[in-house]
Structure 1
Amino acid sequence: MLQYMVPGVDGSTARGHRRFNWLWYLKAAPGEELDAVLTDRDGKRRSHSVPPGALSAEQEMRFRQTGAERANPAFQALIENTEDIFVQEIQDLQVPRMVFGRVLLTGDAASIPRPHTAGSTAKAATNAVTLARVLDGETDLARALRIWQQDQLTQGMQMSQWGIGMGNRIMGIAQH
């Protein structure tokens, strides 16, 4: 579980006007358990997330009760003071290529590392900076993009694998 400050509703970053954003990684087994978590208060099974205010009453109660039993007092207060809890499934994405003629995939469009890597922004910036470097003064655009793509695919895969391994250790999931 972690929390960090974000700007307030009015965009203010002044002390006392910011908000807390928090997240809690909890396991839900594929199948019945995950289906229950992703089924909203109207009985609709959501594909990947349940938006704020739509969590089923049963799941919200279960979540809040688990927090009361397991979280430290600071996180208990965050949970208690959150009106609309939402749920998002953690997914992994790596594309087999990033270059499609004159179209390039960068950032999370190319690979999505687990949130606990805190690496998406740095990965997107690296995609852009390395692209600028490889294109600087290059006359063979196709060659430059092949080199860039291979390097960025490798780095994206490494970050994704690191995040998966870290997540599995955090969640107590056996490594194979």
Structure 2
Amino acid sequence: MVWRGLVDEQQLPEFAKTQLYEDFVFQQDPESLMLEYMVPGVSGSVKPGERRFNWLWYLKAAPGPELDAVLTDNNGRRRSHSIPPGTLAAGQEAYIREMAEQLVNPAFRELIRQTRDIFVQAILDFQVPQMVFGRVLLTGDAAFVPRPHTAGSTAKAARNALSLAQTIDDSGDLDHALLAWQQQQLAEGRRMGDWGVSMGNRIMGIAQA
């Protein structure tokens, strides 16, 4: 699971801002990875003083009661894969805030303290066996969703598009070009997916199958 939050740039105390400002900062511990980076403000502004700090904290949740508790919102609804901002159950909010007080460094602790609406997402693996359906193609995360640790989704989507253009340009037969493109992109998608799973397992201390 990844626990997440956003904090307005002006809202963070100076001591924490100094340690995090415009840097990609990590804290890694056994079975835990936390990171932060700056993103545009609510209005889309990227001007200094108008941006936000975006933080993510990866933690495990065992299938069954533990995972069900994380994914059950404040109305008692068990959601499939995420808890949106403003709907986190009180018990889960208390849990993650207490974890932060005990485990994270002072700057990250302040990020969580200043976050009004914490939200949660399950980390999912997704791969398709086919990307070409006549003249309809699956690209980007519609075809393969790698672990976020790869930081590769955008590059993967761009690679799909660039490779498609090149393959079509190099071939005089569109159907042949699409099948050749599919074979290549399926292999690359599987490699990135497998790499992400391996990386995530190492971070979370999960034994390799």
Number of corresponding residues: 176
Q: Distance in 1 between matches of 2:114 and 2:149?
A: 23
Tell me what 1:154 maps to: 187
**Structure 1 or 2: more strand by fraction:** 2
**Secondary structure of 1:16's aligned partner:** coil
Letter paired with 2:180:
I
Percent identity over the alignment?
Answer: 67
Question: Could you say which residue in structure 2 is the equivalent of 1:21?
Answer: 54
Write the deviation string for residues 85-121 of structure 1: whole angstroms up to 9, x where unpaired. Answer: 0000000000000000010000000000011110000
Residue 70 (structure 2) pairs with residue 37 (structure 1)? yes
* TM-score (norm: length of structure 2): 0.83
Counting only pairs closer than 5 Å after superposition, residues 122-141 of structure 1 correspond to structure 2 as 122-141=155-174
Q: Distance in 2 between matches of 1:39 and 1:63?
A: 14
Question: CA RMSD for the aligned pairs?
Answer: 0.7
**Runs of 4+ with >2 A deviation:** none
The residue aligned with 2:98 is 65
Q: CA–CA distance in 1 between the matches of 2:44 and 2:86? A: 22
Q: Report the equivalent of 1:114.
A: 147
Unaligned runs of 5+ residues in structure 2 are 1-33
TM-score normalised according to structure 1 size: 0.98
What residue ranges of structure 1 are gaps of 5+ in the alignment? none
> Relative CO higher for 1 or 2, CA cutoff 8 Å, sep ≥ 6?
2
Task: Supply the distance in 2 between the matched residues of 1:110 and 1:9 (Cα, whole angstroms).
Answer: 30
Kindly provide the amino acid, as one letter, of the partner of residue 112 in structure 1.
Answer: V
What amino acid sits opposite 2:179 in the alignment? R
